[in-house]
Structure 1
Amino acid sequence: MNLRDVYIDEVTSRIPESMRQDVALELESTIDDMTGNDPSETALFEALRQLGDPHILAARYANRPLHLIGPALFTQYVNVIKIVLPIAVTVITILSVIGYLNNSIDDTSWLPFLIQAFLQVGAAIFNVVVQTLFWITLTFFIIERAVPEGEVPFSSWKPEQLKKVKPRSTSISFGSILFDFVATVLMVVLYVNAEQMIRVVMNGKSYPLLNPSVLDRFLPFVIALAVFGIAIAIYKWMVRHWTKPLALWNALFNVVWIVVTALILLQPDLISSDAISLIAAQISIDVETISRWGVRSVLITVTIVCIIDLAEGLIKAFRR
């Protein structure tokens, strides 16, 4: 078998059997025309070089793409990943954190606790990322090969859509929305489990740092605030840019957050008396002073973060 026949066999063996005879005859004629009256090996090599890789030529004849996701679907493929992947990561992060915190918490140091939490949540996130990318890619792989040539599914773009495009200066990043979701859920979980998670452990003795009765008294306000925050985060995800109503609702949420935080932190019996006694027995510094400055520091931090968030929304929404 000469090189021409080997090349033709390499092509035809990779296409449907019903096409092989016609393609073989076409290639024989094409190669003979390209070599002309010069049947030398050099002329044949040049002809075959121009025809190219037989794998690629076979894919063209069989109309089978050699790429996983082609240019016609790649934009939609990336857009689906941008939407689905953050949602999947957010959900699995929240569920993993809640599941881990619901486990029994030993009175040990925070470092092993945090390391174990990081490893467990990280493994869950890695697994969901791999699974999400696999199934999205498989779906588009099937669509790529099932759709007739020339058709572009999911594409319904019209010039009129440009009227709905908002300035990029008012856009809301998905990262900030994700942070809002996660921070809100973690805040509620931490608040509900504060008696087990925020404790003072010294010399084998353990007491909750915060008074459970005070936390229970404000629990309905915290739950209502969390629902308010999640609703705003969902609204942000839906519109994806700052509008005046959204900025005003976001400002109200931050103001209420500051007020509720201040009401809780400024309760005179917020710090457990047992925890204060245990700390006072170990250090010579005035525990009341330490607790007062600690409460003030937390309140100032929350206030600064809320002011920055509400200012960003108001500035972006009203400066146009």
Structure 2
Amino acid sequence: MTSLTDRYLAATLRSVPVARREEIATELRASIDDMIEAHTADGQDTATAEREVLTELGDPAQLAARYADRRLYLVGPRYYLAWERLLKRLLTFLPATVGIVVGLLEALDGNAGGAIGTGITTALWVAVQLAFWVTLVFAVLERTNVDLNLPGWSVDRLSEERADRHIPLTDTCASIVWLLLVIAYLPWQHYRSFVPDGTGGDVPVLDPALWNFWLPILIAVLVLCIGLEIVTYRVGRWTWPLVAMNAVLNLAFAAPVVWLLSTDRLINPELVQRVDWLAEGDNLDTVTAAVVSGTVLVALWDVVDSAVKAYRSRT
């Protein structure tokens, strides 16, 4: 376990410019040591003095804002951090959850082709509504000077993460959960697609012939991606070798998917025949182009994002 001071530094440095982190860390640690020494000179034990000093310094997010010369304004300084934390927490799960539920209901209602689009549109709408209403409520509370009786900041709220860690545990867990869901969907779609086959079962979404080679390969790549997420978290930040490995894994997944889609080998032909919307006009080509574009964009985004994080965390 790291000391309270190390955890306080980690929480503060997370929100300051990378270029100034070393300078701020040195300055802040020296100030904390001096303040602790002043307290212990009056007879306090070191542990108690450390807690009192960090409590006096206050919320690390507010201290980081002062170091970065960043004003905590939008709804107002009093409730800015409460607004920011609540909005971030809601946006991490609520829009996606509502979008998935609405998409599934749309598919169950017989509109399998439009389920994905409906789910994405709903998720975006929920995110916009959340941002608007949460911001409006906090702005009104700020300007009417309503006291929410929020608990004061305490050192007990400090994270256990190291000062040099740039990857939160929550991000790693979210990535792993997403990868596990994708892995689980590949066998699940073989038995449940909401498109009846006429014999009491469902028509698989993906061509069953792919289980002879391609689907096991894709599952293996996804498992390796989970391993990469764990390794990256243990390292604490993105490094250029990890970025290169991430690029290789993204290519290993995206390239087969794009090739299979482009050659009409990914989607089950029987599914196309039974879903009238897919069989009409150029709808299948439109879906194929959209999925190909989405796959390429997601892969490029993930690689670029990891490269940017590696560049920012360089020492």
**TM tier relative to shorter chain:** 0.3 to 0.5
Q: TM-score, normalised by structure 1?
A: 0.43
Q: Which has the larger radius of gyration?
A: 1
